[in-house]
Amino acid sequence: MRKLLISALGLVLFATSGVSFYQSRRLEEPVVLSDGVTDVKRLGDYFEGVRGTVNDANLYFLDSGVPGATMLVLGGTHPEEPAGRLAAWLLAENAVMEAGRLIVVLSGNRSATTVTRVGGAYPPDFTIETDWGERTFRLGDRWSNPLDQWPDPEVYIHHPSGQYLAYVDIRNLNRTWPGRPTGTLTERTTYAFMELVRREGVGVFIDLHEAELQYPVISTIVAHDRGQELATYVSMMLSDMEFNIGMEYSPVNLHGLSHREVGDHSDAVSLLFEAPEPFLDATRGRTTREQLLTGQDEFVMKAGEAGLLFERIDERGWPIAVRVGRHTSTVLQTMEAWTELNPDRPMRVRGVPRYAEVIERGVGHWLRDPASAPVSRLRVE
């Protein structure tokens, strides 16, 4: 009898935790397509090796019908950097192209959106307040879910450079570029994105990220060799008119990262944007949804007082609207700068809020209500 009771309690624990994990892995995130979205394809359309897998991502095409260049914006490379995904969401739900084309990805590594950091006490999701209610998003992690790709090798040897990288980074989408058709799920995913870039003739590739304040590559644009002029121009304009953002050269000998490999293995100019996210700092306090969204943390502030940070922080923190606004403005400024530098291949867009607008009205203002959208304009991530 006692044995049965203890087993029953164990079963209850297993069932409750199991249901929680099952639901968070399968939480559906709606996308209300902007009027500018002209087509939705799948990553598997470009490479069979990811078709039908967890990483067969939605690709949102916004084609103006007016000749120009194509920009690809990749959100969700590292899902636990939510400003990147949310900025891409704002594009997919609001942007209308007036010249050229835009391709938006919300879940670059969808597998990584279905798991949180083991031992990190991460919340499984977070909620954004909107004008009509709220939207909940999966928080995710930096690496693909071990349920989808396992085991990791002792040492990860990057393809094709042969460079030795940290073993766990074989599940890191931003260490597996340009990918390998016969490789792991994460390598096949980056290979599929490279096929997309090459076959669609992408001119500008943008990878949206966030960084801890103790990491030196922060509040900056990392640019491939061919993107240095563009990135410098964008950095100067934004720093003069909206917020400080730096520009850094993509290291030639650091392999696997999008800002290096996409540029090296395609005709696209590859850029990577970093916004500040105190949630990722090792010295943070409680790892909560509130901390994720407000970016306020007294322990990270202490680290700042000790001179350990590469970005300022005060009691105002780094709210999600500030981080998302940095990304939307940097994307918009990149389009404007590109068009000035390449008037024969323009890109123009309307409907996307800039930095000040996102801060003033909040991220949720720019998320549309799935309940009032026609089914044909709804997708799920």
Partner 1 sequence: MAVLQTLVTLLYYALVAFVSVMLVWNLTRTRDWKQEVLYVIVLIPFLLRLFRLK
| DSSP secondary structure string for all residues of 148-181 | TS-PPPSSEE-TTT--EE-GGGGG-GGGSTT--T
- Using DSSP, state whether 231 is helix, strand or coil: helix
Stretch that binds partner 1, among 18-26, 51-59, 76-84, 200-208 (CB under 8 A): 18-26
Would you call 96 helix, strand, or coil by DSSP?
A: strand
CB-nearer residue toward partner 1: 3 or 286 = 3
How many residues touch partner 1 under the rule CB under 8 A: the total is 21
Which DSSP state fits 66? S
In the bound complex, what is the minimum distance in angstroms from residue 381's beta carbon to partner 1? 21
**Of 81-89, 176-184, 215-223, 352-360: span binding partner 1 (CB under 8 A):** 176-184
Candidates 149-157, 257-265, 292-300, 352-360: pick the segment binding partner 1 (CB under 8 A).
149-157
Tokens (6 digits) for 273: 């944007």
Which of 58, 174, 184, 190 is close enough to bind partner 1 by CB under 8 A?
184
Whether 294 and 317 have beta carbons less than 8 Å apart is answered as: yes
Per-residue string for binding with partner 1, 23-42, x by CB under 8 A? --x-----------------
CA gap 302, 278 in Å, rounded: 12
Tell me the closest approach of the beta carbon of residue 3 to partner 1, in angstroms.
6
Residue from 154, 162, 182, 286 touching partner 1 (CB under 8 A): that is: 182
Nearest distance, CB of residue 148 and partner 1, angstroms: 10
Stretch that binds partner 1, among 6-14, 35-43, 128-136, 358-366 (CB under 8 A): 6-14
Q: Is 244 in the site for partner 1 (CB under 8 A)?
A: no
CA nearest 125: which of 31, 10, 29? 29
- How far is 143 from 380, CA to CA, in rounded Å? 21
Q: Which is nearer to partner 1, 20 or 244 (CB)?
A: 20
Where on the phi/psi map is residue 46: left (φ > 0), alpha (ψ -120 to 50), or beta? Answer: alpha
* Residues 68-127 within binding reach of partner 1 (CB under 8 A): 115
* Span near partner 1 by CB under 8 A; candidates 79-87, 160-168, 179-187, 271-279: 179-187
Residue 87 or 115 with smaller CB distance to partner 1 = 115
Distance CA 223, CA 262 (A): 11
Q: Which two tokens stand for residue 22?
A: 């099952």
Q: How far apart are CA 112 and CA 104, in angstroms?
A: 18
Q: Among 103, 98, 102, 104, which Cα is nearest to 65's?
A: 98
Q: Which part of the chain contacts partner 1 (CB under 8 A), choosing from 74-82, 148-156, 227-235, 303-311? A: 148-156
Nearest to 172 by CA among 57, 256, 282, 115: 256
Among 1, 28, 119, 151, binds partner 1 (CB under 8 A): 151
Name which position in 66, 121, 147, 356 contacts partner 1 (CB under 8 A): 147
Stretch of 20-28, 194-202, 291-299, 320-328 lying at the interface with partner 1 (CB under 8 A): 20-28
- Sort 20 into a burial class: Cβ within 10 Å, 0-12 / 13-18 / 19+: exposed
Least separation in angstroms between residue 344's CB and partner 1 is: 43
- Of the pair 25, 377, the CB lying nearest partner 1 is at 25
The answer to whether 48 contacts partner 1 (rule: CB under 8 A) is no
What are the b/e assignments for 214-229, b being 16+ CB within 10 Å? bbeebbbbbbbeebbe
* Residue 167 within binding range of partner 1, rule CB under 8 A: no
Q: Which residue in the set 30, 183, 246, 351 belongs to the binding site for partner 1 (CB under 8 A)?
A: 183
Backbone angles phi, psi at 375, to 5 degrees: -55, -35
Task: Characterize 352-368 residue by residue with b for buried, 16 or more Cβ atoms within 10 angstroms of its Cβ, and e for exposed.
Answer: bbbbebbbeebbbbbbb
| Nearest to partner 1 of 115, 293 (CB atom) | 115
Contact residues: partner 1, CB under 8 A? 2-3, 6-7, 9-10, 13-14, 17-18, 21-22, 25, 115, 147, 149-151, 182-184
